[in-house]
Amino acid sequence: MTRFDRGLLALLAAYVAMLVVLPFLLSAETFDAAFSETGPFERLSLIAWIVAAAVVVVRIRPYGLSAAAFTVLYLLFAAREADLHKAFTTRSISKLNYYRDASIGVSERIVAALAALAILCVIVYAVFVVLRFLFARQGLRTRAGLWLALGGSLLVFGKVLDRSAAVLTQVFHVARPQWMIGLTDSFEEGLELATPALLAVSAWLSQRHGAYLHSRK
C-alpha cells in the first residue's frame, strides 16, 4: 500500500465520519435539500459515474470486451442516477410489477424486458469479471483489487441499505426514528457518490496493478 492509498483511505474515513454527523448538525430543511433526489449528492453521483466510465475509456489499453462492459455498466449507473430507467416507459423497467401491469401495452413491456435483459447480462458479466479477478487471480493482493473490492462493497451496501429501509417501512410497517432515517439517507446518498470515485481509482490503477479490465484469451 502506497502513501496515496493510505491518504485515500484516511480521506474516505473522514468522509464517512462526515456522513455520520451531518444528520445531527444540519437543519431538517438543509439536510433534506442536500440528500434529496435532486440534491448535490445525487447530481455529483451522476457526474462521478460518467467520470469513472471516461477513466476506463482513456486509461485502459488494449481496450477490449471487459473494458467496454465496465464502460457501459458505469454509464448505466449514470443513467440510473438521471432516472432514465423510467423516462421512456410508463414506470421503471427495474420493477417486476411493471411487467405484470396489463394496463401497459404489451409491445412496450416486451421492448422494456429486452432492454432489462441486456442490462442484466452486462451486470452479470461484470460481476463475473470482478469475482474472477479478486479470487481466482488473486486480485485482492493488488492495489487495483483493493479499491475494486472496497468500491464494490460500498455499492452492495448502499443497495442493501436502500432496500432494507423500504422493506421495513412498506412491508413490516416499522416506524423508524428520525435519527435512523437521517443516517440511512446520509449513508445511501453519500456512499453512492463515493462508490464511482473508488471504482475510477481502481480502473486507473488497473492498467499496471491488476489488469482485470484487460480482456484475456
* pLDDT (tens digit per residue) in 198-215: 999 999 999 887 688 976
181 lies in a domain?
yes
Q: How many CA atoms lie within 13 A of 122 on its CB side?
A: 16
206: exposed, middle or buried (Cβ count in 10 Å: 0-12, 13-18, 19+): buried
- Whether the per-residue pLDDT at 216 is higher than 60: the answer is no
**If we measure between CA atoms, which residue out of 16, 18, 22 comes closest to residue 157?**
16
- Whether the per-residue pLDDT at 68 is higher than 60: the answer is yes
Whether the CB-CB separation of 98 and 109 falls below 8 Å is answered with yes
- Whether the per-residue pLDDT at 13 is higher than 80: the answer is yes
70 lies in a domain?
yes
Give the range of the structural domain holding residue 172, as residue numbers without chain letter. Answer: 3-206
Whether the CB-CB separation of 66 and 215 falls below 8 Å is answered with yes
215 lies in a domain?
no
| 83-98 pLDDT tens trace | 898 888 999 998 889 9
pLDDT at 215: 62
- Whether the per-residue pLDDT at 169 is higher than 80: the answer is no
Computed over every residue of the chain, the mean pLDDT equals 92
Percent of the chain whose predicted confidence (pLDDT) is above 90 = 74
144: exposed, middle or buried (Cβ count in 10 Å: 0-12, 13-18, 19+): buried
> What is the C-alpha separation between 42 and 132, in angstroms, rounded?
31
217 lies in a domain?
no
> What is the C-alpha separation between 196 and 152, in angstroms, rounded?
9
pLDDT at 122: 97
121 lies in a domain?
yes
> What is the C-alpha separation between 10 and 43, in angstroms, rounded?
24
213 lies in a domain?
no
Number of domains the chain is built from? 1
Residue 124 makes CB contacts below 8 A (sequence gap 6+) with none
For the chain, what's the residue count? 217
Mean pLDDT of 184-188: 91
Give me the helices (H) in the chain, please.
Answer: 3-25, 28-34, 40-59, 65-81, 96-100, 106-131, 143-166, 178-206
pTM as predicted: 0.92
